[in-house]
Amino acid sequence: MMRKRAEFLAARNGTRINGRTVRLEMRRRDPGEAGETPRVGFTVTRKIGGAVVRNRAKRRLREAVRLAAARDMRPLHDYVIISKPDVLTAPFSALCEDLRQVIARAHGRAARTGPEQTPGHRGQPSPKRSHG
- Does any domain span residue 50? yes
Q: Residue 65's domain is classified under what CATH number? A: 3.30.230.10
**How far apart are alpha carbons 24 and 102 in whole angstroms?**
7
Give pTM, 2 decimals: 0.82
Look up the domain containing 101 and give its range. Answer: 5-109
How far CA 106 is from CA of 10, 46, 57, 74, 94, in Å, comes to 16, 26, 22, 11, 18
Q: How many domains does the chain have?
A: 1
If you average pLDDT over residues 56-76, what whole number do you get? 95
- Does any domain span residue 121? no
- Does any domain span residue 17? yes
Question: What's the pLDDT tens digit per position in 6-18?
Answer: 999 999 999 999 9
Question: What's the pLDDT tens digit per position in 117-126?
Answer: 444 444 444 4
